[in-house]
Amino acid sequence: MAENPDLAEPKAKGGSVADNLPHVSRWSGRLRICMALLGCQAGARLSLVLLAVSCAENAGRSGLQPQGPGPRPEAWDVPADSTPRARARVMRQRCNEGDEESCIKVAQAILQGRAGAQRDAPLASQILDASCGRGGARSCFELARLVVRGSIGVVADEQRARSLAAHSCRAGVSEACAFDELVKRSAPPLRELEAGCARGAKGVSDCMWAGMKYLQGDGVARDIPRGISILEEMCGRGYGPACENAGAARSALLHDPGGGLRDFETGCKGNHGTSCYGVALMYAEGAAAPKNLGTTREYLERGCGLGDPRSCSEVALFYLDGVGGPPDPSRGARLLEQGCSGGDALGCVPLATRLASGRGLQSDPARAFSLAYRCCHEMESAAGCAILLRFYRDGIGTRRDSELANQAGSRACELGELSLCN
């Protein structure tokens, strides 16, 4: 089957690394490392905290923006047995139409990383702020609750929180009238976390979260060097996530890629897969050592072997295309499958494109379509929706359907693929 040029993985102009690290291809310098690490399959890892701050400082944000006021629906038309993601999509649409309750639920899902949403406190703040501005008193109170304690990329501002709570109280939200109690409930337990550090090996997680609060300025004056010092102490005790986040903080916040590389390497030597991925990025970018794609490939292989799905997806492309070493299509195919099955959407997307085009893999358009559909509708991947648009448009693995193609494009736009917004 001839390769469809529309299905090739995204390339960046002139960059051999970008050609083979799809997670890295759209960014440059410090921001490139920042955004690449933001997508790690890491749950609540601290890199989400410190790198979200760095990214916000450098790039701005895109995402759901509630549009103008609209009618409040009389009843929810969401089937009781629908999936959480399906319900979330309906909620987003209701929010866009001006329904306050939906906006609050969407913001809460984004704050907690539920229904496939990426944790993104600034975006949740924007949604609540827009709903509050349209007269939503409850939204104002929920925004006050967020602002009084601060969060990742949202600066704590007690004065603003008091003003929002007072407005909500006057509008009839009784909970907002007890603002001092709200402050008390929202106070971050920094002392408890620091006390946990004294428990030795049992307290490394508490120590790491205490370090996060210093990096973030959450409940305490922001002190990046102190936060990193705490993380590096926990890294020295063998706690891999602390190594990962210390490395990310040194690289992105202190502009010290050499120190960051050392922290990543310490974590990787301690068998922490995502730290190995951080080392690979450093060598791919030449950020702290001469660029070396062979070394990049070695560390991606190690990260994959330690269970990091993204490392599997990345090193698979190296094997398929013979980058950093001899090609091994069979191993590349297995690792691409492994990354995708491990939940890495950006591993599933190149797998889908290669199954559709037959590039390096046996052509299987039907499975390619199934993967693209899963990436878009289950993993909520903008790139997956963009590929799904092309599959519907060109009839790859499914029948041609311009309406469904347009829907996939709109979904990709909602998820941040701005090139498909019109």
Q: For residue 43, what pLDDT is reported?
A: 28
Residue 394 lies in a domain: no
267 and 298 Cβ atoms separated by less than 8 Å:
no
pTM of the model: 0.58
338 and 312 Cβ atoms separated by less than 8 Å:
yes
Q: Which of 149-158, 159-168, 232-241 has the lowest mean pLDDT?
A: 149-158
CATH of the domain at 110: 1.25.40.10
Residue 269 lies in a domain: no
Residue 172 lies in a domain: yes
Give residue-wise pLDDT tens across range 322-362: 999 999 988 988 898 888 887 777 788 989 998 999 887 88
pLDDT at residue 321 tops 60:
yes
Residue 317 lies in a domain: no
Give residue-wise pLDDT tens across range 251-298: 988 899 999 999 999 999 999 999 999 999 999 989 888 999 999 999
Residue 156 lies in a domain: yes
Among the listed residues 14, 49, 40, the one whose alpha carbon sits nearest the alpha carbon of residue 280: 40
Quote the mean pLDDT of the chain: 75
Tokens of 17: 């690394």
Q: Structurally, how many domains does the chain consist of? A: 1
**Entry field: residues in the chain:** 422
Residue 7 lies in a domain: no
Residue 345 lies in a domain: no
Residue 280 lies in a domain: no
Q: For residue 403, what pLDDT is reported?
A: 94
Supply the range of the domain harboring residue 103. 40-187
Give residue-wise pLDDT tens across range 89-121: 777 788 888 888 888 888 888 877 665 566 677
- Report the first-to-last Cα separation within the chain, whole angstroms: 32
Q: For residue 85, what pLDDT is reported?
A: 59
